[in-house]
Chain A
Amino acid sequence: MLKEEIKKALENPVISKALTNFYEAYVVAREKAYAGLDFEEIRNEIVRVKSYAAEHFDELIKKFTEQATKRGAKVFYTKDPKEVINYVLEVAKTHNVKTIVKSKSMATEEIHLNKHLKEAGLEVHETDLGEWIIQLAGQRPSHMVLPAIHLTRYEVSDIFTKKVDAVEPDIKKMVKFARKNLRDKFLKADLGITGANIAVAETGSIVIFTNEGNARLVLTLPKVHIAVVGIEKLVDKLEDIDPIVKALPRNATAQPITTYVSFITGEREHWDGTKKEVHIILFDNGRSEMAKDPVFKEALQCIRCASCLNVCPVFRLISGLVFGRVYTGGIGTILTAWTEGLKATKDIQNLCIQCGNCVKICPGKINIPDLILEIRRRLAEEEGLPLKVKAIYSVVNNRKLFHTALRMASKLQKPFKQGPFIRHLPLAFAELTQERSLPAIADKPFRDQVKKIKQPDAKEKVAFFAGCLIDFAYPEIGEALVKLLNQAGIKVIFPQDQTCCGAPALYNGVMDVAANNMLQNLKALEQENPDFIISACPTCTLVLKKKGLLALRNQKVSQDLIAKAEKMAEKVIDASYFIHKLIKEGRITFSKPLEEEFTYHDPCHLKRSLNIWQEPRESLQKAGLKLKEMFESDICCGMGGSYSLKFPEISVKILERKLKNIQDTGVNLVCTDCPGCIMQIRGGADKKGLDFKVKHSLEVLAERL
């Protein structure tokens, strides 16, 4: 089902083009919109305001209710979606309502309010232009802020012509057409339904943002106004709205401010002097439970700007039509887990590639990939793992078995091997090599080769943690590292009992195997008592240094072991950082500083999780190379570890863009510091017959010693 939807979305020429064009303009415009402001300061404020609210929901609900009631609004709090629907239907009945106008509200979409209103014989009109188009078309929004971004002007003109009246596919004319047609609905409606962007407890006000001005008409013209407000919209003080007013439009659509920001604080009188009614439904549906969850309460800091969707390399290919349900994208997956239940995210949570591009842009500082990982873990715990996955990880869990299997594969691959690549695989595996060649497994893994390397006897010694890819596919990277470190007078030891770092298990929510991998590595590495532990794969570095500790804590291993693991974690350094330090100290020098142009691809985990990106560039420049930056150097290459096996169709689409960005530089050498990215980019280039080289920075540096 999910696979079919992905296929459909990828085959649609509009979706990824529209989202990609928007993204490219958005990144630049957003920077401009924040000029002169300190984004970090603003988002720290948002975190303060929103996390305070989440910790004090009961108190704020009480305060808001008191204040709004005092000023004439009727406030109703409920945990139950059904009660929201019943309340709205009751109000409609009391006022003999026939037609309803609505301005965009995610909370009402969450409970499928429109469907229930229609079933009760009521006429409902969405009035936000995008939402109206989607409603007329009978579709689902593809983006939380840009609901109709997947449609062209021609499709919109068709929808209007079929459902309303004939209109040319001219955007200006269609906007006027919407104004004219919806104006009548506004004037005739008996009830207006809105959501709210903020609810201020101190004053009992709700605050609504719109660019089109439809919400102003929805809440002004009909005699009755109902606002359906999720309790996560609450803030304590009026001044708390300031950072949200600043960040929401800038992050959502790169605007400095939303055109209309309206405050409604209990209204009593209609335009003709008769009584006006304002109802505010404070709606829970899992939110107060979320606030009690030590991990997920962070997600209540979301201000629904959808910037995480804008920058997601997966979302921009398949949109919210595939990636998400009512709420879309990464944050949508997290919200869905609470509004619809964990099981509802079973398929979509897999779509996150864990690149972390959303983390740096989120105004609520929500670590979306980490929360999705937690969903993955809880799902694995609750639902159990599929047999196939279980079988794989039972092998990875046992180092000897795992390494024997890899050695066997190195023999079995012979018929498919062409030089360093596997270009075709038969049967069920065919898709894996359709768009990108795979690396052949090395005849001799690094763990065997290292024994033959003659190293100087040195006082300083570091342990090398190779990780599976360097050990079994790219041993030459390990050799380069040894060469570089030896020049600096450092001896490299290779603890033979080291195994997989645990990332594959960890990123699939299989925490027991991840913890076991971590413990095996801890034992192997600490035995040698090295000064430092060097890894040349940022994902391995990240797991040994940070993520693996989470797995250990999650599996409740003894405090003693955790303390030991923490001590080890302190010694773990990524090679890119360590080598840069040695170069800066003059301990590594280059005698063959060949001038050559290169471009650099930032591995996701190196840049965003370890915050290393300048160092490898500087090292390479010190070795005589000239940097020519590519466009989007820090956007994911599509590898994502096992992601490329789970969703090869998405993975290769992301890769195609990366390959194009590399080609556009006109440079013949791409350097990066992650063997996974090398596997992906090199494989794609081989398949397409592109003539640039893809190398680990360490290899390029070692060549120039």
Chain B
Amino acid sequence: MFELFKEKASALMAEVYSFKNRKEALEFIKGFIKENTSYEDKNSVVWYDTWFLDGERKEDLLAELPQITFEFTPEIASQAKIGINEVDGAIAESGSLIEVSNRIQKRLVSSLTEIHIAILPKSRIFPDLKTALRSFNLTNVPYVTLISGPSRTADIERVLTIGVHGPERVIIVCVENL
């Protein structure tokens, strides 16, 4: 299932990485942040976290990477280069991520930033849309988005161009043992 998902998501220009555990995934994310932002750029990373950093000391992370912020407004998210959140599932047949956001902040990081890092539990990859829809009780969720690759347009001369209103890169961090 993961292989099919990776193939389909990569075809949509998403970048897919797989890690054995949370620690490895976190190391990758930290490295990515260091490579793409400077610690002097305050608020250049907006992170909406609900479980991934459980057990980590956020103060330590902030000391190491002060460009991260866990509290933000739309204006701040709009200026940020990287947005990080956990997604709730994925669809193998189309290479899509499923983002369920009860709170609006969760979707700000994936809709306003330049780079979206999506943390995906490997166990939550569904074969197809129908199966995925059955596993989410939509009636209890105000907002769900399927995200399939970076934001794109072809409105000028039909030339495919990446990164219009949403992120121009989507990095999928798939974690096996959680």
Q: Does B130 count as interface, using CB distance less than 8 angstroms?
A: yes
CB–CB B148/A257 < 8 A: yes
- B149 cross-chain contacts in A, Cβ below 8 A: 259
Residues of B2-46 at the interface with A, using a CB-CB cut-off of 8 Å, are 8, 11-12
Q: Does B150 count as interface, using CB distance less than 8 angstroms?
A: yes
Most A-side CB within 10 Å, residue of B95, B105, B107, B164: B164
In the complex, the chain B residue whose C-beta lies closest to that of A205 is: B138
CB–CB B152/A259 < 8 A: yes
CB–CB A263/B144 < 8 A: yes
With A203-B138, A211-B152, A239-B134 given, name 16 new contacts (CB 8 A): A129-B164, A147-B155, A153-B156, A171-B161, A182-B165, A183-B78, A212-B151, A212-B153, A212-B164, A214-B165, A217-B165, A260-B147, A261-B148, A263-B138, A267-B142, A271-B104
Q: Can you list the 7 inter-chain pairs with the closest CB atoms, starting with the nearest?
A: A213-B166, A130-B155, A271-B104, A212-B164, A213-B151, A267-B142, A129-B155
Cross-chain pairs A/B with CB under 8 angstroms, 15 sampled: A130-B156, A146-B155, A152-B157, A175-B163, A178-B164, A179-B165, A187-B74, A203-B139, A212-B153, A217-B111, A253-B154, A263-B143, A265-B141, A271-B74, A272-B73
B166 shortest CB reach to chain A, Å: 3
Alpha-carbon distance A25/B158, docked complex (angstroms):
10
Q: Does B178 count as interface, using CB distance less than 8 angstroms?
A: no
Q: Does A504 count as interface, using CB distance less than 8 angstroms?
A: no
Alpha-carbon distance A182/B138, docked complex (angstroms):
31
CB–CB B163/A179 < 8 A: yes
CB–CB B158/A187 < 8 A: no
Q: Does A216 count as interface, using CB distance less than 8 angstroms?
A: yes
Alpha-carbon distance A270/B102, docked complex (angstroms):
10
In the complex, the chain B residue whose C-beta lies closest to that of A276 is: B104
Residues of B77-106 at the interface with A, using a CB-CB cut-off of 8 Å, are 78, 94-96, 103-105
CB–CB A156/B156 < 8 A: yes
Q: Does B123 count as interface, using CB distance less than 8 angstroms?
A: no
CB–CB A242/B75 < 8 A: no
- B141 cross-chain contacts in A, Cβ below 8 A: 263, 265
Q: Does B119 count as interface, using CB distance less than 8 angstroms?
A: no
- The one of B73, B142, B145 that contacts A266, using a Cβ cutoff of 8 Å: B142
In the complex, the chain B residue whose C-beta lies closest to that of A212 is: B164
- B117 cross-chain contacts in A, Cβ below 8 A: none
- The one of B75, B104, B166 that contacts A260, using a Cβ cutoff of 8 Å: B166
Which residues of A does B touch, CB under 8 Å?
A: 18, 21-22, 25, 67, 71-72, 127-130, 133, 146-149, 151-153, 156, 171-172, 174-176, 178-179, 182-183, 186-187, 203-205, 211-214, 216-217, 220-221, 238-239, 241-242, 245, 253, 256-272
CB–CB B143/A213 < 8 A: no
B91 shortest CB reach to chain A, Å: 9
Most B-side CB within 10 Å, residue of A72, A153, A205: A205
- B134 cross-chain contacts in A, Cβ below 8 A: 239
Alpha-carbon distance A216/B133, docked complex (angstroms):
20
- B153 cross-chain contacts in A, Cβ below 8 A: 129-130, 175, 211-212
B43 shortest CB reach to chain A, Å: 15
- B138 cross-chain contacts in A, Cβ below 8 A: 203, 205, 238, 263, 265
- B158 cross-chain contacts in A, Cβ below 8 A: 18, 21-22, 25, 146, 149
Q: Does B65 count as interface, using CB distance less than 8 angstroms?
A: no
CB–CB A213/B165 < 8 A: yes
CB–CB B145/A260 < 8 A: yes
Which residues of B does A touch, CB under 8 Å?
A: 8, 11-12, 73-75, 78, 94-96, 103-105, 107-108, 111-112, 129-130, 133-134, 138-139, 141-159, 161, 163-167
Alpha-carbon distance A216/B83, docked complex (angstroms):
15
CB–CB A264/B12 < 8 A: no
- A205 cross-chain contacts in B, Cβ below 8 A: 138
- B96 cross-chain contacts in A, Cβ below 8 A: 257, 261
Alpha-carbon distance A146/B154, docked complex (angstroms):
8
A156 shortest CB reach to chain B, Å: 5
A220 shortest CB reach to chain B, Å: 6
CB–CB B105/A271 < 8 A: yes
B125 shortest CB reach to chain A, Å: 16
- A257 cross-chain contacts in B, Cβ below 8 A: 12, 94-96, 146, 148
In the complex, the chain A residue whose C-beta lies closest to that of B137 is: A203
CB–CB A269/B130 < 8 A: no
CB–CB A187/B78 < 8 A: yes
* Given the contacts A127-B165, A187-B74, A220-B111, A259 and B105 also touching, CB distance less than 8 Å: no
Alpha-carbon distance A681/B155, docked complex (angstroms):
36
Alpha-carbon distance A214/B151, docked complex (angstroms):
9
CB–CB A265/B157 < 8 A: no
- B164 cross-chain contacts in A, Cβ below 8 A: 129, 175, 178-179, 211-214
* Given the contacts A245-B129, A256-B94, A262-B144, A148 and B151 also touching, CB distance less than 8 Å: no
CB–CB B159/A171 < 8 A: yes
